[in-house]
């Protein structure tokens, strides 16, 4: 009995000690369990990191000042001025509350307000080039900070050596770097996410007693993201999800019974979220009007991205809401450096090992932040255009993920000298290629395509390159270097461009001496101009791939790795312009003479061949029209207008099925109302009434004011005895003047 009494306290003591030891493993310690640092890290890497970061900042600012503006600056500069007026008048000037041009009121105003106030303080207006230089300066700062937070995220997990590697990889990412020079919308948004995820790691690492610096940094990151775009609301979900995950990883289900613990998580998390939300809406006038409803409405609008534009994708010019589900991942893999692409793919395969080697929650945060938005966009079938710039914020966690993969591989094979050297060769080669691209194209590195996808030479005519007209700045600079600016005569120099806003900004020093105007590329001779500046954005893919653009009228071409981005055309004789005016006046004899003169000088001018075919149609010379249209198609393959005139020539020669097939080719290139109409006309003549009506309705959809389509549809319904339908189409036709 005595032994039993003596043994009970001993067993009880051992049980109590075991229970305490078990509790110690899950009790909050203020830190996550330490991981052994990677070999090779040392304090001098921190100094090297700082030197490298400083040099990158200087270089990025210089590159940004040499980069052109993007076409969307037209909307953002206008919004910037309205934002400044709103805040300086304490809300009396309400023009920022609804901005029809670009729907800019749906965006937060952080970047545009900061730069707008700075410009206003310095006395610069949109009529000064310095106004845009300052915006580029801030853009570079925001881009540099994005790269810095990528590197600091890696530093938390892998030390300063890994951070230095991440910084270099981020800088040598031409798409990220290129947008950092001139994209004041997607770069601040990406910075908000990169900053938030970095401080989120520090915030959760020290829970339930986080540092105030991490709480403030996280709130500022959330505020920056939300104060740029409503998509910043995602960060509130990220914070809640990973706070719960952190509780689970540390405490499993025991946290449910620890009221003080989960209340600390909830209380501090809600405080950070509230402060971040207030910062975000404080720089967003429209959100201030309804702080809960309006940001949610904006998020709904952006998830649909309702703007429809024509985009060049895989060689076809299609509407942005008709792109396939794989549009986004296809663009991403083609345009990120192979170092990142291989690291991401390797990281997927090695994810369990990365979780064991590094802290699991930060790794999961990086993976989730990179993948979730992509999956969400694909599942929602969201409309995207201009590649993947709208999701540029997923790239920082991609770089983190990829860098951790390479670091793990290096550490795993540290004792295998040849394998480790092979890894260094692969990383080196895959970084040299984008580095050379940046060095060769410092003004527009955002047009980069990696070598696995064939590079920009393969992308030309298949994917958009300079879709924002950034190279217009260098085009104007060339006109100055060539002595074209300032003009020698008394009359102002006339310059046309499909990117007239960009052109107008860079003609500011020549105001009164040079005048810019907007001209569509496919109708570029409808206005008088002496020089034309035409980026490849609005040119059809088949025409680009034919290598007939730029044509012989081009006096200079701006290129990236030998691939044309922008052509500068000179028009001295103005035959094409006079022909265009004569066609409008139905003076076909004059038009014929002028077009012949134009083609004698420039036989590769596709516009002149197309218009000559139209003149032959008007003169009822259908055999000549066919011959001319076919010549136009040799110069500009699958040109929709040339196909239309070829179809008209064949139809008037009673080659009905050939004509129908040609009109089909035309509508495959463009939603061409007249081609749909004649397809319906042909089917009506063949007695295939239901097909005819369907085709005529497509013509009406393409052009709701196409009177002949309504009238022919009405006639078909009358013939079939459907008087109500016929009457409806007759009434619609009568309403069209």
Tens-place pLDDT, residues 229-249: 999 999 999 999 999 999 888
Q: What is the pLDDT of residue 454?
A: 96
pTM of the entire structure? 0.91
**Percent residues over pLDDT 70 in the chain:** 95
Note whether 241 and 298 are within 8 A (CB).
no
Note whether 97 and 176 are within 8 A (CB).
no
Which run of H or of E encompasses 533?
strand 531-535
pLDDT digits (tens, 9 = 90+) for 177-212: 999 999 999 999 999 999 999 999 999 999 888 999
Identify the weakest region by mean pLDDT among 301-305, 455-459, 676-680: 301-305
Average pLDDT of span 679-683: 95
- Assign domain 671-737 to a CATH class: mainly alpha
**Percent residues over pLDDT 90 in the chain:** 82
Q: What is the pLDDT of residue 305?
A: 55
Note whether 204 and 242 are within 8 A (CB).
yes
Is the model's pLDDT at 29 over the cut of 70? no
CATH 1.25.40.10 for domain 588-665: yes
Q: What is the pLDDT of residue 304?
A: 59
Average pLDDT of span 385-403: 95
End-to-end CA distance of the chain: 113
Question: How do the domains of the chain map onto residue ranges?
Answer: 43-297+310-445, 472-570, 588-665, 671-737
**What count of Cα atoms within 13 Å lies in the side-chain half-sphere of residue 354?**
28
pLDDT digits (tens, 9 = 90+) for 578-636: 999 999 999 999 999 999 999 999 999 999 999 999 999 999 999 999 999 999 999 99
Note whether 187 and 392 are within 8 A (CB).
yes
Q: What is the pLDDT of residue 716?
A: 93
Is the model's pLDDT at 3 over the cut of 50? no
Mean pLDDT, all residues of the chain: 92
Average pLDDT of span 129-144: 98
Neighbours of 50 (CB within 10 A): 12
Q: What is the pLDDT of residue 270?
A: 96
Q: What is the pLDDT of residue 660?
A: 97
Look at residues 707, 693, 721, 636 and name the one whose alpha carbon lies nearest to residue 670: 636
Q: What is the pLDDT of residue 376?
A: 92
Q: Is 671-737 in the same CATH topology as 588-665?
A: yes
Is the model's pLDDT at 14 over the cut of 70? no
pLDDT digits (tens, 9 = 90+) for 42-89: 789 999 999 999 999 999 999 999 999 999 999 999 999 999 999 999
Is the model's pLDDT at 21 over the cut of 50? no
Is the model's pLDDT at 536 over the cut of 50? yes
∠ CA 71-75-81 to the nearest 5 degrees?
Answer: 130
Identify the weakest region by mean pLDDT among 83-92, 301-310, 568-577, 613-622: 301-310
Note whether 521 and 539 are within 8 A (CB).
yes
* DSSP state for residue 509 in the 8-state scheme: G
């Amino acid at each position: 009995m005595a032994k039993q009494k003596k043994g009970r306290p001993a067993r009880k003591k051992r049980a109590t000690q075991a229970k305490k030891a078990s509790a110690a493993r899950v009790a909050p310690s203020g830190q996550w369990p330490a991981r052994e640092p990677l070999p090779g890290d040392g304090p001098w890497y921190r100094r090297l990191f700082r030197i490298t970061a400083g040099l990158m900042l200087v270089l990025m600012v210089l590159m940004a000042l040499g980069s052109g503006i993007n076409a969307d600056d037209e909307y953002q500069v206008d919004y910037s001025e309205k934002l400044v007026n709103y805040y300086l008048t304490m809300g009396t000037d309400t023009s920022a509350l609804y901005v029809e041009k670009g729907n800019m009121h749906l965006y937060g105003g952080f970047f545009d307000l900061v730069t707008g106030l700075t410009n206003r303080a310095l006395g610069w207006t949109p009529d000064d080039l310095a106004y845009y230089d300052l915006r580029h300066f801030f853009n570079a700062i925001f881009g540099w900070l994005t790269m810095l937070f990528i590197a600091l995220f890696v530093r938390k997990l892998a030390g300063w050596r890994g951070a230095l590697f991440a910084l270099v990889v981020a800088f040598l990412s031409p798409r990220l770097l290129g947008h950092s020079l001139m994209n004041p919308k997607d770069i601040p948004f990406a910075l908000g996410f990169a900053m938030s995820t970095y401080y989120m790691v520090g915030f959760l690492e020290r829970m339930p007693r986080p540092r105030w610096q991490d709480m403030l940094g996280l709130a500022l990151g959330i505020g920056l993201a939300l104060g740029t775009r409503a998509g910043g609301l995602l960060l509130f979900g990220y914070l809640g999800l990973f706070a719960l995950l952190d509780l689970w990883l540390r405490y499993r289900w025991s946290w449910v019974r620890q009221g003080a613990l989960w209340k600390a998580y909830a209380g501090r998390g809600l405080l950070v979220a509230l402060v971040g939300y207030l910062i975000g809406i404080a720089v967003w006038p429209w959100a201030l009007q309804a702080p809960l409803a309006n940001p949610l409405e904006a998020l709904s609008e952006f998830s649909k991205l309702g703007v429809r534009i024509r985009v060049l994708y895989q060689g076809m010019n299609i509407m942005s809401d008709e792109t396939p589900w794989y549009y986004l991942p296809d663009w991403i893999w083609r345009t990120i450096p192979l170092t990142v692409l291989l690291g991401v793919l390797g990281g997927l395969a090695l994810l369990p090992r990365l979780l064991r080697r590094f802290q699991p929650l930060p790794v999961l945060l990086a993976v989730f932040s990179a993948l979730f938005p992509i999956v969400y966009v694909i599942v929602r079938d969201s409309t995207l255009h201009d590649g993947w710039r709208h999701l540029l914020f997923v790239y920082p966690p991609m770089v983190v993920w990829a860098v951790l993969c390479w670091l793990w591989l290096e550490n795993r094979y540290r004792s295998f000298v040849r394998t480790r050297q092979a890894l260094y060769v692969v990383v080196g080669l895959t970084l040299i290629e984008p580095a050379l691209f940046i060095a060769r194209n410092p003004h527009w590195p955002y047009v980069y395509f990696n070598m696995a996808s064939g590079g920009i030479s393969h992308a030309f005519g298949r994917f958009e390159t300079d879709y924002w007209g950034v190279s217009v700045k260098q085009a104007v600079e060339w006109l100055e270097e060539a002595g074209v600016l300032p003009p020698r005569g008394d009359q102002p120099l006339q310059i046309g461009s499909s990117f007239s806003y960009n052109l107008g900004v860079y003609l500011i020093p020549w105001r009164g001496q040079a005048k810019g105007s907007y001209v569509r590329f496919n109708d570029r001779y409808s206005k008088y101009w002496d020089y034309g500046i035409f980026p490849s954005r609005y040119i059809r893919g088949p025409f680009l791939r034919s290598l007939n653009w730029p044509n012989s009228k081009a006096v200079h071409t701006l290129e990236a790795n030998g691939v044309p981005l922008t052509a500068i055309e000179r028009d001295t004789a103005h035959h094409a312009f006079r022909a265009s005016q004569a066609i409008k006046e139905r003076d076909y004899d004059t038009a014929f003479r002028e077009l012949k003169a134009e083609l004698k000088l420039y036989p590769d001018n596709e516009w002149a061949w197309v218009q000559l075919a139209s003149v032959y149609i008007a003169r009822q010379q259908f055999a000549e029209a066919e011959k001319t249209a076919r010549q136009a198609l040799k110069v500009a393959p699958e040109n929709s207008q040339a196909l239309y005139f070829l179809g008209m020539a064949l139809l008037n020669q009673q080659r009905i099925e050939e004509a129908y097939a040609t009109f089909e080719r035309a509508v495959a290139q463009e939603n061409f109302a007249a081609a749909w109409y004649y397809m319906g006309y042909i089917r009506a003549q063949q007695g295939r009434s239901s097909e005819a009506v369907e085709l005529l309705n497509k013509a009406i959809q393409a052009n709701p004011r196409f009177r002949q389509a309504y009238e022919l549809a009405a006639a078909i319904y009358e013939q079939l005895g459907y008087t109500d339908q016929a009457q409806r189409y007759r009434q619609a036709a009568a309403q069209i003047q």
